[in-house]
Amino acid sequence: MKCIKPLFAIGLFGLAAGFGLTSANAQNTHADHAAIGVHGPSPQVIRGLYLVKISGCNDCHTPGYAESGGNTPQAAWLTGSAVGFQGPWGTTYPTNLRLSMLRLSEAQWLQSARQPMRPPMPWFALRDMSDDDLRAVYAAVRFLGTAGEAAPTFVPPGQTPKGQFIDFVPHSASAVYSAK
C-alpha cells in the first residue's frame, strides 16, 4: 500500500491543452460503427472526444494522463486506473469507462450520468451537461472501443486498499491550502 500525497492529487485535475485525432485511432476497431463516417469519426464523436479532453475525464480515468501533460495516446484514454482515491467515503477507483459504457444504452447513460457518485468524481459536471453533450461523450467512448481491464472495486471506509491510493482529504491544518 502506498499513499500518494494530496499535492500530487491537485496536479491530477489540471486540464491539458490541445486536441487531435490520430490516424491510428481511425484504424481501431470501434464498438459503435454507426458513429464512424466515411472519412473518419462523425462530428458527434469529434465533439465527444473534445468534451472528454477539456472536461477532465482523462485526468482520472486515463492512467498517466496528468503526468504526461495530456500527451497520452487516445488508444489509452478512459481505461480506468488502479490508483484509488481515499477519504471518509472509502476508496474509489476511476472506472474503465470503455468497458462500463458498453453495458449501457444511450438512455441508461443519460440517466446514470446525472446521478450522484462517490468522490472525487465531479458528477455534478455531468449532471449539468446538456443531453447533446452527454450523447456526444457516449458516442466518443463507444468510438474508442473496448480496451483495458476493469478497475479495482470500491473499498469501504475503515478498510485498507491493497494498491496505491491518493489520500484525498487533508488531515491537519498544515495540509490545507487557501487562496490569499
Give per-residue pLDDT as tens, 126-178.
999 999 999 999 999 999 999 999 999 999 999 999 999 999 887 655 544 44
Kindly state whether residue 180 falls inside one of the protein's structural domains. no
Kindly state whether residue 50 falls inside one of the protein's structural domains. yes
If one counts the domains in the chain, the total is: 1
Rounded to an integer, the average pLDDT of 104-125 is 96
Kindly state whether residue 74 falls inside one of the protein's structural domains. yes
Q: Which domain holds residue 106?
A: 2-175
Kindly state whether residue 115 falls inside one of the protein's structural domains. yes
pTM, entire model: 0.75
Kindly state whether residue 160 falls inside one of the protein's structural domains. yes
Kindly state whether residue 163 falls inside one of the protein's structural domains. yes
Q: CA-based angle 106:51:57, to the nearest 5?
A: 85
Mark out the alpha helices in the chain (DSSP H runs).
6-12, 23-26, 43-54, 57-61, 97-100, 106-112, 123-127, 131-144
The Cα 66–Cα 69 span in angstroms is 5
